[in-house]
């Protein structure tokens, strides 16, 4: 599967991973519509909405971190199909649930299913090789799908309220299911790089810094994400207008995805990654506590669109550090644990629908993410820890003094 992008079967797999990615991120991109409807209809307070989102994220993170150690043994098709069925049941059930207990139990099922689907995406990207390109490509598909969904979801809410929103979310995932049958259903422990390291292992420091970069960035940039529809309402943005704004953000994100995918062939880690993370830190302050409607819309588009450059680049870095896909799966789990904590913080510190303290906290977290990215890149450039030299008489020629990671130049830049 590592060289699958060069044949027709590999393209089918890429299409299947794109469908899984859309399902896996359906609540990340479209969840604010669900939160907004639950709050607007009086089923949940802001604090309860934060807990509702937090439970889903924790289940999401638990699923991803549980699957991570099993990455080489994962059968992608079986896991994707079973998780998709679970997600459809959770969303369809949420259309009719009214009690807090039932809503939370269904979020556990939803989060577990979403986490399993995201693990399929990251492991599949690692197995195909060129993880930054694969993740950028599937996000291109994602932005097209979510641009259309962002326009129709507000109308579903207007027509049928909570039932309309969750039925639409369940229907979207159900439509994606047939494409997932093209996923391979065999375990794959093959190194994913076209130039795999000669038996080395990733340095612990590089793995830790790469994981911290994802944890800080996702926790900071997405802290108020479940409440963005409500923040927009606080500055006078109607639900249908927020849907149009989301569609515009997806279109801009599409352009970012295309550029990221094209540049991923030439850069293992873009020099623009760290400045982009710092920029998003400042954008988060404006998005969390916007002084005007225009600034909110601008911050929302920037944060949403640059996510499609920053996140695949960070996961791509994790794949370069550990080509097995284990670190990439753990990165997804770190994302959910981090966002769950910062979302709960946001719901507890909001003031009349605005989140100034959360915005400032997001700025600090993004700065930490930028520093962690620098450290992870530096450790990655130092290479992997080589195994003990092989005997030239029994095992062939000895290994070179320093092994190199996939995509890492053999000569100093």
pLDDT digits (tens, 9 = 90+) for 4-54: 555 677 788 899 999 999 999 999 888 888 888 888 877 788 888 889 989
**Among 18-32, 85-99, 255-269, 364-378, which is the least confidently predicted range?**
255-269
Across 31-40, 124-133, 197-206, the highest mean pLDDT is recorded for 31-40
* pLDDT above 70 for 382: yes
Q: What is the DSSP letter of 78?
A: H
- C-alpha span between 56 and 63 (Å, rounded): 11
Structural domains of the chain ordered from first start: 4-186+200-381 (1.20.1250.20)
For position 291, what pLDDT does the model report? 92
- In this prediction, residues 114-119 reach a mean pLDDT of 93
Q: Tell me, what's the pLDDT at 257?
A: 79
Q: How confident is the model at residue 196 (pLDDT cuts 50, 70, 90)?
A: very low
For 256, counting Cβ atoms within 10 Å of its Cβ (0-12 exposed, 13-18 middle, 19+ buried), the class is: buried
Distances (CA, A) of 281 to 199, 222, 223, 228: 39, 11, 11, 16
Distances (CA, A) of 107 to 97, 349, 357, 406: 11, 23, 27, 38
Give the residue from 266, 289, 272 showing the smallest Cα distance to 358: 289
Burial group, residue 258, by CB count within 10 angstroms (0-12, 13-18, 19+): middle
pLDDT of amino acid 183: 93
Q: Of 39-53, 117-131, 391-405, where does mean pLDDT reach its minimum?
A: 391-405
pLDDT, position 1: 54
Q: Which position has the higher pLDDT, 280 or 39?
A: 280
Q: Is the pLDDT of residue 195 over 60?
A: no
CB–CB of 68/90 below 8 Å? no
Sign of CA dihedral 46, 51, 57, 61: positive
């Amino acid at each position: 599967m590592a060289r699958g992008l060069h044949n027709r079967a590999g393209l089918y797999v890429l299409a299947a991973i794109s469908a899984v990615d859309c399902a896996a991120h359906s609540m990340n991109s479209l969840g604010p519509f669900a939160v907004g409807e639950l709050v607007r209809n009086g089923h949940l307070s802001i604090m309860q909405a934060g807990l509702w989102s937090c439970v889903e994220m924790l289940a999401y993170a638990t699923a991803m971190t549980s699957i991570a150690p099993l990455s080489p043994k994962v059968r992608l098709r079986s896991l994707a199909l079973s998780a998709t069925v679970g997600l459809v049941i959770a969303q369809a059930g949420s259309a009719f649930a009214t009690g807090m207990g039932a809503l939370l139990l269904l979020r556990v099922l939803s989060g577990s299913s979403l986490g399993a689907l995201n693990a399929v995406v990251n492991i599949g990207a690692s197995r195909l090789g060129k993880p930054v390109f694969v993740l950028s490509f599937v996000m291109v598909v994602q932005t097209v799908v979510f641009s259309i969904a962002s326009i129709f979801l507000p109308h579903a809410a207007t027509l049928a309220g909570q039932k309309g929103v969750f039925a639409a979310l369940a229907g979207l995932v159900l439509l994606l299911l047939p494409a997932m049958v093209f996923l391979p259903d065999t375990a794959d422990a093959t190194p994913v790089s076209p130039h795999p390291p000669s038996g080395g292992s990733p340095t612990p420091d590089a793995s830790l810094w790469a994981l911290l970069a994802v944890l800080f960035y996702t926790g900071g940039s997405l802290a108020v994400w479940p409440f963005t529809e409500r923040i927009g309402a606080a500055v006078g943005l109607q639900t249908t207008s927020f849907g149009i704004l989301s569609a515009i953000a997806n279109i801009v994100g599409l352009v970012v995805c295309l550029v990221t995918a094209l540049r991923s062939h030439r850069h293992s880690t873009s020099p623009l990654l760290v400045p982009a993370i710092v920029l998003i830190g400042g954008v988060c302050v404006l998005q969390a506590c916007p002084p005007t409607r225009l600034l909110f819309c601008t911050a929302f588009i920037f944060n949403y669109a640059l996510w499609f450059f920053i996140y695949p680049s960070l996961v791509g870095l994790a794949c370069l550090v550990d080509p097995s896909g284990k670190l990439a799966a753990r990165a997804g789990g770190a994302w959910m644990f981090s966002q769950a904590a910062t979302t709960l913080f946001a719901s507890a510190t909001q003031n009349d629908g605005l989140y100034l303290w959360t915005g400032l906290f997001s700025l600090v977290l993004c700065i930490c993410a930028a520093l962690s990215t620098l450290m992870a890149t530096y450790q990655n450039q130092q290479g992997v820890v080589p195994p003990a030299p092989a005997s030239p008489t029994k095992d062939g020629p000895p290994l070179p003094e320093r092994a190199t990671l996939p995509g890492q130049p053999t000569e100093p830049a």
